[in-house]
Structure 1
Amino acid sequence: MKLLRFLLFPFAVLYDAITRIRNWFFNLGVLKSTSFDIPVIAVGNLSVGGTGKSPQIEYLIRLLKDNYRIAVLSRGYKRKTERFQVVNGTHTAEDVGDEPLQFYKKFKKGVTVAVDADRTNGIQQLLQRSNPPEVVLLDDAYQHRKVTASCYILLTKYNDLYVNDFVLPTGNLRESRRGAKRASVIVVTKCPENLSKSEQEKIVRKINPKSYQKVFFTTIAYDEDLKGTEELAISDLKDKKVLLVTGIANPTPLLNFLKEKEVSFKHLNYPDHHNFTQQDISTIKKAFDELLSEQKIILTTEKDYMRLEGKVDNLNYISIKSDFINEEEVFNSLVLEEIKKKN
């Protein structure tokens, strides 16, 4: 794989040139970028793969929902529908995407969730509704330059910092590291809980933020209370046979968490955002039936639950959230200040 990526280096140079020209045209105004009168917060990353966008969006929803009318706008990755859709109770993950459906089910009483590949049109449609949002959160929209956000939050993984990477296909970056300058906030995600102050400072020096940028550190926290078919705690799984089914970018942290909790499991691993076919469902059911115990469950992630609910029995899921290691109140204040600038 490393050799192949090295051989593809000329294509990476070409890709870098194309994305740089595109960004230059947006900066010059040759390509149109639309601004809105309400606060628009874009959350995204420079790299492909999971950097923890969903937990970060959920953190922002919790921060803002009691004081503002919030809308979350996603493209609805791998959905089968087209154009603008407001997520409702009749939709499935195939209709609107797993993450938008997850946001809707978790926060439906206080948040509007919509999908549209054209983010400009999506925001315009949201603003035409009878009860328009006061703040829009753009999910995975860091490279969507057709909208000028009022605040960009850039996520980068602790063990895969964008400053150590290169553009596709040699590396994993969607655009060069220069794109980080659009961010006013940089969040290093999926850090160890015991990340020391000295290591935080070392990472900040490596990132070398601009004078207007602030770097924060977060970790992923797993909810020890499971949801789904029955009410269970993680500790209850020690006495059960567990079939773990995942379709996420990197299941390793979850595997390590379950091992730390002394949970024995069989793991079926699928690609990120995988749409489970009937054959997949048959494979899952067969693997579950082969677990030699009457005390057994299927465990999955919250995102995968959106695609598996109603297709298999004995299904429970584990939720995650983003916890700040440093200066949470400073992060909150920065976001709230950005919103007040537009009000």
Structure 2
Amino acid sequence: MKTSFLQWLSPYALVLALRHLLYDRGFFRSYDFEVPVICVGNITVGGTGKTPMTEYLAGRLLESGKTPMVLSRGYGRRTRGFRYVELADTAFDSGDEPLQIKRHFPGTVVAVCENRAKGIRRLIEDYPQDPWIILDDAFQHRQVRAGKNILMADHNRPFTKDTLLPFGRLRDLPAAARRADCIVYTRCPESMADCEKTGERHAGMPVFYTFMSYGSFLPLHDPAVMPRTGAPVLLVTGIANARPLKEHLQKHYLVACHIEFPDHHRFTGKDIARMRELLDKNPSWQLITTAKDAVRLKGSGIPGWIIPVRICFFSRESEDAFFHLVTGLQ
């Protein structure tokens, strides 16, 4: 009751309700496309695993012999309009997340465009041969009627128990979740049984549970020897929710210092100098950062390590059921 009451006190509530009504009644137009369009998004601020899910879909589609193409807004870039992401780009050219995806899948077409409908038309025009378009962070972009909508949610912060900004973390009405074809909970407990016991219930909506798996370190610029178990590390993050990563590292290393910046933070010369100073004063420390932050640290020359992350399902059966639901493929 309290959550519902606060929701309608939000200055965004009536605006969002009217916007959805106008789309639902056809006053605002939504566009369909004859090619597969899969939307990955959420209705909360903060990290819910949208980019790992986008990378997962791109990888599975490639394994299936398809041609995935990723279209993103390109948050934080200084360019405007439609643009193909190139390996030589910086985060200022295309945004950190699209560039991260491009570097993970160099042969995959990745593009940015504020207007998703225009972006899709351009991709179809340039690549008419069986494109499979993945929209990264586009659940609220109702101008496009995607073939499948995947709603990402943090198992530890369920949107069903949250409310709209500024009182909570929701950036859309909870009822918007009904437009999804499935809900994927990320950062779940260690077992599927625990998820099913504590998970939220969504009548008639397929729900999938996942967890984040951290991989082996990758070099950032010219790091020293890879950190040994228990070694002190300097953690540098500029992501929405660094807590799970920090907790993971603390199981294996001594996180001697954590410099935490806001999401999509543009590292300045002063920021880099601070990192160098800490590393110089503490020669045993090694810097660890995320793949997303590494995109913005490229060219800084700061030595360190990148810790990759990927989304994982609890069973092959669950993973295959999800992939079939959103693609129709086996």
1:314 maps to which of 292, 296, 303: 303
Structure 2 residue ranges without an equivalent (≥5): none
- Count of residue pairs brought into register by the alignment: 325
Cα distance, 1:108 vs. partner? 1.2
User: Structure 2: how far apart are the matches of 1:243 and 1:172?
Assistant: 29
Letter in 1 for 2:186: T
User: Structure 1: how far apart are the matches of 2:150 and 2:225?
Assistant: 33
| TM-score when normalising by structure 2 | 0.91
Whether 1:260 aligns to 2:251 is yes
Cα distance, 1:20 vs. partner? 1.2
Cα distance, 1:89 vs. partner? 2.2
Whether 1:121 aligns to 2:115 is no
Matches within 5 A, 1:91-110: 91-109=89-107
User: Structure 1: how far apart are the matches of 2:44 and 2:109?
Assistant: 27
Matches within 5 A, 1:226-265: 226-229=218-221, 236-238=227-229, 240-265=231-256
User: Structure 2: how far apart are the matches of 1:140 and 1:264?
Assistant: 31
1:139 maps to which of 136, 139, 147: 136
Matches within 5 A, 1:59-208: 59-66=56-63, 67-109=65-107, 111-130=108-127, 134-197=131-194, 199-203=195-199, 206-208=200-202
- SS of corresponding position for 2:254: coil
- SS of corresponding position for 1:26: helix
| TM-score when normalising by structure 1 | 0.88
Structure 1 residue ranges without an equivalent (≥5): none
2:322 maps to which of 307, 331, 338: 331
Q: Cα gap change, 1:164/1:6 in structure 2, threshold over 3 Å: closer, same or farther? A: closer
User: Structure 2: how far apart are the matches of 1:9 and 1:217?
Assistant: 27
- SS of corresponding position for 1:305: helix
Q: Percent identity?
A: 36
User: Structure 2: how far apart are the matches of 1:185 and 1:304?
Assistant: 29
User: Structure 2: how far apart are the matches of 1:131 and 1:108?
Assistant: 20
CA contact (8 A) 2:30 2:142 kept: yes
Alignment correspondent of 2:265: 274
Whether 1:284 aligns to 2:275 is yes
1:217 maps to which of 209, 216, 225: 209
CA contact (8 A) 1:74 1:140 kept: yes
User: Structure 2: how far apart are the matches of 1:35 and 1:77?
Assistant: 24
Alignment correspondent of 2:49: 52
Letter in 1 for 2:41: G
User: Structure 2: how far apart are the matches of 1:200 and 1:233?
Assistant: 42
CA contact (8 A) 1:84 1:114 kept: yes
Letter in 1 for 2:247: N
Cα distance, 1:68 vs. partner? 1.1
Alignment correspondent of 1:299: 288
Deviations 1:288-318 (A, max 9, x none): 2121x2x442211010000001203312200
